[in-house]
Homo-oligomer: A and B are copies of this chain.
Amino acid sequence: MPEFRQNLLSNEWVIISTERARRPEDFLEDKKEKPPRPRLSPKCPFCPGHEAQTPPELCTVPGNGGWRVRVVPNKFAALQPDLAFQPEPDGRFLKATGYGIAEVIVENPRHDLSLATMDVAAVRDVVAVYKLRYLSAAAGDKISFVNIFRNHGVRAGTSLEHPHSQLIATPIVPPHVRYPIERAVRYYDTYSRCIYCDMLAEEKRKGERVVAETETFVAYAPFASRTPFEVRIMPKRHQASFGEIDDAELPGFAGILKDSLARIHTGLGDPDYNFIVRSAPVGDEKAKYFHWYLVIIPKLTTPAGFEIGTGIYINVTYPERCAEFLRNVKV
């Protein structure tokens, strides 16, 4: 019997579709083998030795006679930092200069690795750089929201193979981000508690959707997952902004991120995916009502007209079964 489930944070619904139901294993059978990638690719602008093909670096983590992580401005930046932000009417509409920050975080010198396959020390370097660049962007003049994300594979919207993440910081907080915050504020005003903390407590109590739990983080398949194998990683300690993560918490974050991605990589045959670090807007770092998290969205299905028209995602797999499958992957 198909089932509606409501996302507690956004109030959006999903449909868990039993008529189209698929076992977790089915996704692996679908999978086309990806060709192996070289350690160094002669045409890749992010490989060592090709540094001149990118704009000058903003920062690096040095090591091994070169760099271990390298951050550069996005050469094809959707937004530009050297503009004033000026919203102005265009007839009845509103437009604004494309002010913002767009950076690429080259995660590793090796072309053939990904966060799932590099060693955990290398992932620690990457998340430490996430924090540095987050704080740098948030300090930017008129920046209101900082978005760190990763696109892995063509279905996730990237054609660049070299392991990299991106940061885009905007002068505006879009409604898509603001609506769930408004809900969280109202929840806080009613219960004096963070809705995200309460949700995490519920997931831990239930247990069946938990993929992994450490001293400081929980990875779980959300109750109202939009897609098969969606995984959300949340810090146990209440913190509204990713910029508030303690340096002492970074290794734990790196560990559970690598673990979750490795389970997806190994269990599902390296599927394409996006991940996003969802953080409070700049200025709300100490908010009692919001809680940052990272969400991994594997690209195993294609949103169609119904999803676009209603925001209701049809998910062909129970999150409980996805969590069980991922828990059992040997990593």
Do B157 and A303 have beta carbons less than 8 Å apart?
yes
Measured between beta carbons, the chain B residues less than 8 angstroms from A314 are 78
Measured between beta carbons, the chain B residues less than 8 angstroms from A276 are 305, 308-309
Q: Mark A59-90, 1 if CB is under 8 A from B, else 0.
A: 00000000000000000111110010001001
User: In the complex, A305 Cα to B104 Cα: how many Å?
Assistant: 13
- A46 located at the interface, meaning its Cβ lies under 8 Å from any Cβ of chain B in the complex: no
Q: Which of these binds chain B: A114-122, A198-206, A249-257?
A: A198-206
- A176 located at the interface, meaning its Cβ lies under 8 Å from any Cβ of chain B in the complex: yes
- A52 located at the interface, meaning its Cβ lies under 8 Å from any Cβ of chain B in the complex: no
User: In the complex, A224 Cα to B90 Cα: how many Å?
Assistant: 11
Answer whether A95 and B4 are a contact pair too, CB < 8 Å, given A78-B20, A174-B312, A179-B179.
Answer: yes
Measured between beta carbons, the chain B residues less than 8 angstroms from A202 are 91-93
User: In the complex, A80 Cα to B15 Cα: how many Å?
Assistant: 11
Q: How far, in Å, is A293 (CB) from chain B's closest CB?
A: 11
User: In the complex, A105 Cα to B130 Cα: how many Å?
Assistant: 48
- A190 located at the interface, meaning its Cβ lies under 8 Å from any Cβ of chain B in the complex: no
- A1 located at the interface, meaning its Cβ lies under 8 Å from any Cβ of chain B in the complex: yes
One complex includes copies of this chain to the number of 2
User: In the complex, A127 Cα to B2 Cα: how many Å?
Assistant: 29
Candidate in A16, A166, A223 with the most chain B CB atoms within 10 angstroms: A223
- A98 located at the interface, meaning its Cβ lies under 8 Å from any Cβ of chain B in the complex: yes
- A155 located at the interface, meaning its Cβ lies under 8 Å from any Cβ of chain B in the complex: yes
Q: Which of A202-235 contact B (CB under 8 A)?
A: 202, 205-206, 223-224
Q: How far, in Å, is A153 (CB) from chain B's closest CB?
A: 10
Answer whether A311 and B80 are a contact pair too, CB < 8 Å, given A151-B304, A166-B306, A202-B93.
Answer: no
Do A198 and B92 have beta carbons less than 8 Å apart?
yes
Measured between beta carbons, the chain B residues less than 8 angstroms from A90 are 5, 223
User: In the complex, A205 Cα to B93 Cα: how many Å?
Assistant: 13
The 3 closest A-B pairs by CB, nearest first: A176-B311, A2-B98, A157-B304
